[in-house]
Structures are given as structure tokens and as C-alpha cells.
Structure 1
Amino acid sequence: MTALIVALAAGAVVGLALGGLGGGGSVLAVPALIYPLGFAPAAATTAGLLIVIATSLTGLVAHAREGRVRWRTGGLFAAAGIVPAAVAGALSVRVPSGVLTAGFAVLAVVAGMRMLRPRGESAPQVGQGAGFAPAGRVARTGAGLGTVTGFLGVGGGFLVVPALVTVVAVPMTAAVGTSLLVISVNSTAALVTRLATPTALDWATIAPFTATAVLGAWDGQRLAAKVSTAALQRIFGAVLLAVAVFMFVDAVA
């Protein structure tokens, strides 16, 4: 019963973050699965991808209905990350648990700092229109984001959103929704290769976690329209930094 309550509560938080901010929630999903719910790091990152895919698709539909998704731009970013995400996903299951935990802690620090110090929306560079950037830059950025998604089992939205704003000059109002498209595609690519390696998954925990995450994503999308994005980012950023400290201590202990 305690595990079920934890899974339901953690799923709701993950959904709120993904739906409202386009990222950050998946970075909380994996430690929630590892510590209070007892998943091994490899199983947690695989389960995290399942949760992220379901939640991101839900948030994507909500943002698409409001016209806040740049399909072409998101598709280009996602396409560049498919192969790196798949390769990194296959390699991740062969990495020692301590290394995976430490790597995830570093990612949580980066995510937390970005949320505590959010960047403002960047204007397009001279000669660039919204949604345009050199193909090489888009490919490199998309490939890097796909690698992070595949290796650590996170959507990487906290990186995708600023990348869309600064690299392709997507307005912040559309960056969150577009990031969910990128997350969905890259996470699916990573999951496909992970599932080729037998991993025991506790579906009795994953199912309620995912269900409340999906519901939370709808609420997060509505919450984002009413509450300051900067305020939401600061709250989740502080939580992520606390999680990172805990994971570092666990990794070196």
C-alpha cells in the first residue's frame, strides 16, 4: 500500500512538471523509482522512459490543441536524436549501477540550476526567422539531446526547451509543446533498444505511476496558463538539487 501511494504521488509530480514546463519531471521519475520504490538503476531508467512517453504524448496533445507545437522544427530535432538515443539506450544497460547513478545526479544538478536560473526568450539572430537555423547546428543539438535521453532514461525537456529557444528561435510559448514532441520520439527510440535486453519491470508500480503522471500532465498544462513559469521552475529546480545531493551521497557511499 505504501509503494502504491508513493507511486501515485510521484507520478502526479512528474506529470505536472512535464505538462507545465516541458521538462524536469522525468528527472524526478528515475530517483523516485530507485529509492522509495526499490527499482535497480537500469530498470528505473527503462521504466522512466515508459512513463515519459505516455506523459509527454498526453501533454503534446494538450499543447497541440492550443496551437503551441512547431511540428516541422520539432520533427527535425527529434529525427537527429533517434539513432543516438537508440545507441545510448543499448549501452546504458551495460553500465555499472554506481556510474549510472552518479551520471544521473550530475544531470539533476544541471536541470536544477537551469530551472533556478531560467533564461529569457532569445530573439532570432540577424537574418534568421523563427524556426530556422543551420542544419548542422540543429543536427548536433538534436543528437546530443537524444544521447542524454537514451543513456539516462529521461526526456531531457529541461535541455530541449532552451535549445529550441536559442538554437532555432522558437518562441517560449511554443517551445514547451514542441519539446514534448522531441521527448516522445527520442524516448521511444531509446526504449525500443532497451526492451531488447531482458529487464524485470514491476508493472504493479509502473502502471499507477504512469496513470497519475498522465493525469498530472493535463493539470500541468492548465497550471502553466495560470501560474508564472518562472515560479514553477524555481520550485522544481530546488527539488531537483535536493535529489541530486542525495544521489551523489548514495553513489559515493
Structure 2
Amino acid sequence: MAALAALLAAMLVGAGLTASPAQAALPSGTGWSGSWNYRGVDTIDVAGTLPGVELIGTASDTFGTRALFGTIMDTANDNRCARVHIYSTSHQAYVVDKQACGAGSGTPFMATDLTGGLLVIIQRVTPGTTTADKGHYLTIPGSADDADLRSAGTGASWSYYAPDAFRYSVVRSGVKLTGYGSHASADRRTSLNTVEKTATSSGCASASASAGVTKVSASTCANGGADHFAHFELGGTLVANACYQPTGGTQRCNLLHLPVPA
């Protein structure tokens, strides 16, 4: 996903949205959320919201080749439009760029023959432009070389359930990370986490939460085991990562990016 990371940095700068700590009082996180999840071994549900914006999508996944279908919706009479912008690493190009303008309107989108990772960017933009005043993104890894990813329940999700409080979850076969947090100050958030080993085979589950150079983590190797970790002054985008490594096997990970509302 290195290519997605480089692309993401350029996209955020161009849109005027940064992943660095906010310098002023944070606005409400109400209406902010994002998720992707394998409903079965061959179906992925994708969703995201911003104030006045909603995305709903579904992707089929046939041994790593995906077809993605969805709708981007404008849900508020706020003189703004909803935009979805999707980059495919297998195409090395944007494969979707759609907008919906007008409260209650929706625009369908689709992309097929996707064999790599996906960067799904959701934005609220000024009508007639691609200038965003709010936005966030989802990174969905490719499964062509990672069949274990295609497991029911694998995914990542986050949402603000109160103006200044949020929750998140990252799941892969063998591991589950659950986290909660809140705004501790104008530019700092707390992060309280539990990592669980869900596999019954020999191996270890680990997880981390980071922002910039600050990182906290924990692990457990006991069947049915769990461990807890926390940090109370994380600034900027929170990256939550969960991994499982079977004894003598390859470590497999999954992550999410939880933005600071802007």
C-alpha cells in the first residue's frame, strides 16, 4: 500500500485537508464515519459519511478480482456537493470520480477488473469544483496475493457516536482490535484499546495505535487472550493496526485511518 500512501499525501495537500494536528478548536465529529467489511468470502460492504454526504457501496471479490458498485449521495441542503474519488493500484489510476449535488440526490458509480488495493476518498465539495472543505478516506488492501483477507468479518470501521467521542474496530482472521477515544484538547485525542486473539491455533495477536511518531501497542499469544493499551495525547490522524502471526507462519495485518474532523 506504499503507492496509496504517497498518493494520499498529495491528494490531501491538494484538497487543503492535512493529516497534521489541528491548530484551532476542533469542530464536531457528528456525521463522520467510514467502514469496509467482508460480509462473506466474496462480498465487501463499503460505507462512509460526512455532514451532508453519504456513500454506500458493495464489491464482489472473486479470488482477488473485484467489481465495485455504489452510490454517492448529497444528504443536506447546504450549498455543497458530495464526491467519491477512488484510486486503484492495479490500474495505477483513478477509476471513479463522481459527484451528487442537491439535497436528496444520488449518483451511481462502478468500477470492474480491480485486482489491487483501493483508496476510497469521500469529500464534501463546493458546487462546480473539486475543492473540498471536508473529507476522509478508506484504504482497502488487495486480496489477489492474500487469500486470508477474504474471510467473513475482516474489515475496519470507525464512527463518531458523540460530537467529541469515537469508536473503531479492526479485524483480521485471528485478531480483533477495539478502540474508543475522545478529544482531550483542541489538538489531542485519547485512544483506549483492547486487542484480542480470536484464533484457536498457536500464534500471537498484536495491535497498535499511532499518530505521527507516537505509538502504543500490545500483544497476546494466549488462546482467548486479550491485552489493553492506551495513549491520552495523540495528535493528528489516528492509525489503528491489528496483526496475527501464526507460529511459523506469515504475519498478516489490517489497518484504518481515523481523521481529525475539519
Q: TM-score range by the shorter chain?
A: under 0.3
Which structure shows the higher strand fraction? 2
Which structure shows the higher helix fraction? 1
Which of structures 1 and 2 has the larger relative contact order (alpha carbons within 8 angstroms, sep 6+)?
Answer: 1
Length-normalised TM-score, structure 1 = 0.27
Structure with higher Rg: it is 2
Length-normalised TM-score, structure 2 = 0.27
